[in-house]
Structure 1
Amino acid sequence: VLATDDNADRQKILSHYGSHAQDTTFATQLLYRLRDGSQNAGRALEWLESELEKTGSDAEEIIISEHHTLSSGNVTTGNIIRGLRLINDVDWTVWFEGVSRIDTLLREKTDFAALDFFSRDQYRTAIEELARRSELSEFRVAEKAIELAGHVLIADASGAEVPQAEAPDTDATVHTDVGFFLVGPRRLELEKAIGYRPTISVTVKRAFSATGWLGVVVPVFALTVLLLALAGNALDHLGLALPSIVVMLALFAVPASEGALAFFNTVVSLFLKPTRLVGYDYK
């Protein structure tokens, strides 16, 4: 187009590219590609210069502006990369435990620091769950658990502050680890002390756990009987004699019970989480 004569058609076609010439990135790239170009490059440069003059700019100004933009972009990209590397290098578990008030309180009052990470996280999760369904904050829940565990400081006969469980006139059975109240068998005492309101699902799970071995035997036995009844009904429709049906059901009883137990375990595992034993970090 630039190689043609300067006529109305040429001006009409180039008028559609005027907005592109005002883009500093486009104009800079065009100047770069026209460097040492063909004999028509001069006309292209003239057209570009004329379009830039309409906006009060020139080739040198847009090149400087584009270089500044690229430089600032490179600096920003470098800062982002360094920031991402720093984020990746930070051990966020250590950072979180360092700024958490709950962790600080438990470390000062209990043997929380001696536990492994998964046990500490189990304590934190328990405190969070208890606080969510009570009127107390997580910090107050942790304080209440420490008080119930006998770690609260009291004044002895000499006036010195000692843990309640270590006081001379304190029953030895009073002291126990704070984990007994957070994730152990004495959790109900802590829930009652903080006004915890269990959800329906928690209530159902606890009712099921309270049934003990009957909660396993009865459902498995019922499923086994159901499978045997279905199998017996199917054999009866096939026209087999009663003695044959009895023999077949006797042979089918063991695999039916195993299938019922496997089905029961699968269903229960969807609703009940395994209980993890609290462990100490011996590093």
Structure 2
Amino acid sequence: SNYSAHAQDTTFATQLLYRLRDGSQNAGRALEWLEGELEKTGSDAEEIIISEHQTLSSGNVTTGNIIRGLRLINDVDWTVWFEGVSRIDTLLREKTDFADLDFFSRDQYRTAIEQLARRSELSEYRVAEKAIELAGHTPGVTDASGVPETADPDVHTDVGFFLVGPRRQELEKAIGYRPPFYVTFKRAFASAGWMGIVGPVFLLTALLLVLSGRALANLGLSVESITLMLALFAVPASEGALAFFNTVVALFLKPTRLVGYDYNKHGIPAEARTLVVVPSLIGSRDDVEENIRNIEVHHLANTAEEI
């Protein structure tokens, strides 16, 4: 019949058997037909029910394993795992104070090494080695602070100066780095100094004044009137040009994050001893007393000996 193919589907047959057995007495003929179709395929009702239960149980086990696997993936701190297997991280920890940095600073170093290696002929590991060599960390025996015993402490430089600091171009030259166009343009703009700000703002202001002058001339005003109005418009035009320039610069020039150290585990060491400056406004004698009281509270609440 047209329904014989459906009877060969074990899932369909199992569900139909459940419904026919729990159905009315009129379902007996349909049940006989279904059992007959199953016998033609060499099976019976009990066999397909057991097979379907096994399939469902196997699916439940698989689904449970997938969910447990996803939970395990979510529970694992992959940053710790990555830093544990990375050869570059191991090299930097052995030769520099890389382990004392906070996570964002360490990631900043890794990103810089990746960018430098991508535009040079050296591998990331070799770029890291070159940065260490330039910083005075010649590969070899080092003391507890990470400085080689044969290195001159007076010329020792932190490796961050070459990766994310002002001496990065020395490292780029040493590894044959080819900077992309936008990096070259950004550096040229930064090297222009104050002219890099005054020049664009002046040109934008002049453009606004020229457009305004033409618009006023089309209205038939005299030269004296146009000159006076442009003189009055010069200040707001320069303010608008400066605001537009700042907006464009903020879109393309991202701020550079300062390298930081993580002293949460072992506290601030003696060589990093520092102080905290609390700015305040003094408008009366009461302000002085309040500021002194706040300073005393901060001092008593401070548990770090090196602050």
Pairwise TM-score range, normalised by the shorter structure:
0.7 to 0.9
**Aligned twin of 2:58:** 72
What letter matches 2:252 in structure 1?
F
- CA distance in 1 between counterparts of 2:106 and 2:146 reads 22
**Correspondences of 1:1-283 after superposition (within 5 Å):** 15-153=1-139, 167=150, 170=152, 172=154, 174-283=155-264
- CA distance in 2 between counterparts of 1:155 and 1:34 reads 83
- CA distance in 1 between counterparts of 2:193 and 2:40 reads 88
Query: Could you report, residue by residue, the CA deviation over 1:224-275 in whole angstroms, capped at 9, with x for unpaired residues?
Result: 0100110111111112233332232223222211221222222223332221
- CA distance in 2 between counterparts of 1:163 and 1:153 reads 10
Change (3 A) 1:80 1:28: same
TM-score (norm 1): 0.87
TM-score (norm 2): 0.81
What letter matches 2:67 in structure 1?
I
Structure 2, unpaired ranges of 5+:
265-307
Q: Which range moves more in the overlay, 101-110 or 248-257?
A: 248-257
Larger-Rg structure:
1
- CA distance in 2 between counterparts of 1:280 and 1:258 reads 40
- CA distance in 2 between counterparts of 1:98 and 1:48 reads 62
- CA distance in 2 between counterparts of 1:119 and 1:51 reads 71
Change (3 A) 1:96 1:155: closer
Q: 1:94 Cα deviation (Å)?
A: 1.5
RMSD: 2.1
Superposed structure 1 runs of 4+ greater than 3 Å apart: 153-156, 160-168
- CA distance in 2 between counterparts of 1:155 and 1:72 reads 57
Q: Which range moves more in the overlay, 119-128 or 146-155?
A: 146-155
The answer as to whether partners of 1:165 and 1:175 remain within 8 angstroms in 2 is no
Q: 1:153 Cα deviation (Å)?
A: 4.8
Q: 1:81 Cα deviation (Å)?
A: 0.8
- CA distance in 2 between counterparts of 1:75 and 1:162 reads 53
Query: How many equivalent pairs are there?
Result: 264
Structure 1, unpaired ranges of 5+:
1-14
